[in-house]
Chains A and B, each alone.
Chain A
Amino acid sequence: MPDTASRPGKLDQEAHRLRAVGDWTLPHYAQLRNDVIRVHEARTIDLERLGDLDTAGAALLVDLLGPETLREIAEGARGLTHERRAMLMAVADAMRDPLFPPPAPRTTPLTALAGLGLAVERLGRQQLALLGFIGFTLSSLLGTLLRPRRWRLTALVAHIQQTGLNAIPIVALLTFLVGAVVAFLGATVLRDFGATLYTVNLVTYSFLREFGVLLAAILLAGRTASAFTAQIGSMKANEELDALRAQGLSPMELLVLPRVLAMLLSLPVLTLVGMLSGMVGGALVCALALDISTTQFLTILQRDIPLRHFLVGLGKAPLFAFVIAAIGCLEGMKAGASAQSVGEHTTSSVVQSIFMIILLDALAALFFMEMGW
């Protein structure tokens, strides 16, 4: 039976005779490995005074002697228990193939260049895939719209609840705060011109045209695109998408379309919520800090701000909604079978959708300006 006190393992070397002493176990591995590396050539070893031995120690003995020699020694040595002999044999057999295959060729400037090329190509393919996916979604959307029997109403309503209804509080709170901040900013700048009253125009213009839809879309990109990617990604990891296809069901119709439609319906509503509560935030600051009463605020709103601005803002919502939902679902479909991959694609879907929203918003602003809307 092993002693309770652990005696550190050692490799004794006396006149070309090696002797393993003490416990050759995991806790002493680093020290023993140093001993073993120092020996250049070993033909035989005395194992009689060996204490405990585990696989780590046995692996060191193989490193020292080579698998063939150790096998011979283990077979011939006296005083070895049956179990210990079996362990030495098993480890020696396992290590007959070299543990480390020849290393892969090193990176050169040329391979780095090739890596850059690959990354660019991958980016191009990703955009192409997104375009293809959007087209595919649109065509299946049209195909399903004409056949009400294939509408997934339950899934649609469930997704509207998750993406739309449950997001109302956070969208309202956030736009309310931003509305208040914009009003403060406007008041500070406009006071110098004696034009404090124009704070009302500033807040309403910015929320109707830009901030209402932009803030709601960015929130949904963070909140819902990530959820779509994670849901579909883990379904893919669990082979659920393959199971659907194998049963002749279309993942596009069952999973993607309800999400896209829910998003298309939710974002305009959330945009409206965002516009309203942003203006409420602005009106509150106007009333409390600038002595512009709410009646006055509403009068200016009704008199000075044409309906056009509201329509311009709201018109962008379906576009943003579609892009967010498409990116979220596509990234989910691209995820691999590992937790790591689902995480990477979730990150990528949020980054991509926020990027696309801001890009599209900038293009739209340019377009509307040129059109004089």
Chain B
Amino acid sequence: MSDARDAIIEVRGLSNRFGEHVVHEDIDLDIRRGEIFGVVGGSGTGKSVLLRSIVGLKRPDGGSIRVFGEELQRLPPAQRARLERRFGVLFQRGALFTSLNLQENVALPLIEHAGLSRPDAERIARVKLALAGLPPSSAGLRPDALSGGMIKRAALARALALDPEVLFLDEPTAGLDPIGAAAFDRLLVTLRDALGFSVFMVTHDLDTLYSSCDRVAVIADRRVLVADTLEVVAATDTPWVRDYFHGPRGRAAAGAARSRTGPDREER
């Protein structure tokens, strides 16, 4: 249903190493427009490094990464900045600017990149905060006054500030309670359907995989074992995948997903 032109991120032959320690070797990945793409793997398999390589925070040691058809590392700075404006990144621990309140955090890229006046930017910032599910009273709070769930939501609002075409999420539901995590998953799907961005998500959370991801890649042994729909991935017969998807937590998440999406699948 989708050919190569549909891919907005193409990773070819990527390799990454830190000194002697090889993290990635010859990784190929495609992320298509409008999909929610999940990356799973054990701790220390370099999921976050992969995300940082794609966003351009880490220079890969080999291979190429093309985003929107351009190779980020080869672009002149101005063009690169223009391309990076089409990204939204949510870091593992939120990475909100602690010296600014939430409204200012979200308004910053609007003022710097979109050239809006401060009142206009703050108005839009409040819309984004509301979209991310935060109450209006939270706009004046500093990040150190927030709970983990609110930090993730605020970070999502900031990532959405410039209406990005791709959203990069690093463990978006880690550290949230199950109710908060489920709400975040729903929010992500709702926003994706409404705003039409693509999502590249690194996660450990099985429920997130089942409830929101269209395709999933498994990273193990320095390479991508499999990248496909959840059914295909879960049916792959390798030890890690078996333990992950068919362990007690995996079965529980799969069961919950079936009972949730069974009857009303047609509606979406």
Contact = CB atoms under 8 A, between A and B. Distances in A.
Contact of B99 (A55, A59, A90, A339): A339
B42 interface: no
Contact of A83 (B130, B131, B135, B196): B196
B127 A97 contact: no
A110 B137 CA distance: 26
B136 A89 contact: no
B127 A95 contact: yes
A94 B135 CA distance: 9
Contact of A99 (B98, B127, B143, B196): B127
Main secondary structure, interface of A, reads helix
Contacts of B130: 94-95, 97, 99
Interface in A16-51: 25-27, 29-30, 33
Nearest to B115: A27
A339 B98 CA distance: 6
Interface in B151-188: 160, 162-163
Given A30-B117, A56-B124, A90-B131, A101 B137 contact: yes
B194 interface: yes
Contact of A91 (B99, B131, B135): B131
Contacts of B123: 59, 99
B116 interface: yes
Contacts of B137: 101
B250 to A, nearest CB: 31
B252 interface: no
A86 interface: yes
Contacts of B136: 97-101
B194 A87 contact: yes
B228 interface: no
B195 A29 contact: no
B127 A94 contact: yes
Contact of B124 (A29, A83, A98): A29
A197 B146 CA distance: 68
A138 interface: no
B222 interface: no
Q: How many A residues touch the partner, as a band?
A: 20 to 34
A336 B194 contact: no
A293 interface: no
25 contacts: A26-B110, A26-B116, A29-B124, A30-B117, A30-B120, A54-B195, A55-B127, A55-B128, A55-B131, A56-B127, A59-B123, A83-B193, A86-B190, A86-B193, A86-B194, A91-B131, A91-B194, A97-B135, A98-B136, A99-B136, A100-B126, A336-B144, A337-B98, A337-B144, A340-B98
B60 to A, nearest CB: 30
B246 interface: no
Given A55-B128, A59-B124, A101-B137, A90 B163 contact: no
Contacts of A26: 110, 114, 116, 124, 162-163
Nearest to B34: A83
Q: How many B residues touch the partner, as a band?
A: 20 to 34
A338 interface: yes
B191 interface: yes
A30 B110 CA distance: 12
Contact of A54 (B98, B117, B126, B163): B163
Tell me which of B98, B127, B133, B143 has the highest count of chain A C-beta atoms within 10 A of its own C-beta.
B127
A338 B124 CA distance: 25
B80 interface: no
A90 B191 contact: yes
Contacts of A29: 114, 116, 120, 124
B86 interface: no
Contact of A338 (B98, B133, B194): B98
The 10 lowest CB-CB distance pairs between A and B, nearest first, are: A338-B98, A94-B130, A90-B194, A340-B99, A337-B144, A87-B194, A86-B194, A99-B126, A59-B127, A54-B163
Nearest to B193: A86
Interface string B194-214: 111000000000000000000
Contacts of B52: none
A26 B109 CA distance: 12
Nearest to B144: A337
Contacts of B66: none
A56 B194 contact: no
Contact of B142 (A25, A86, A101, A338): A338
Interface in A91-118: 91, 94-95, 97-101
A56 B195 CA distance: 11
B143 A55 contact: no
Nearest to B116: A29
Contacts of B133: 94
A62 to B, nearest CB: 8
A237 to B, nearest CB: 8
B131 A27 contact: no
Contacts of B99: 338-340
Nearest to A85: B194
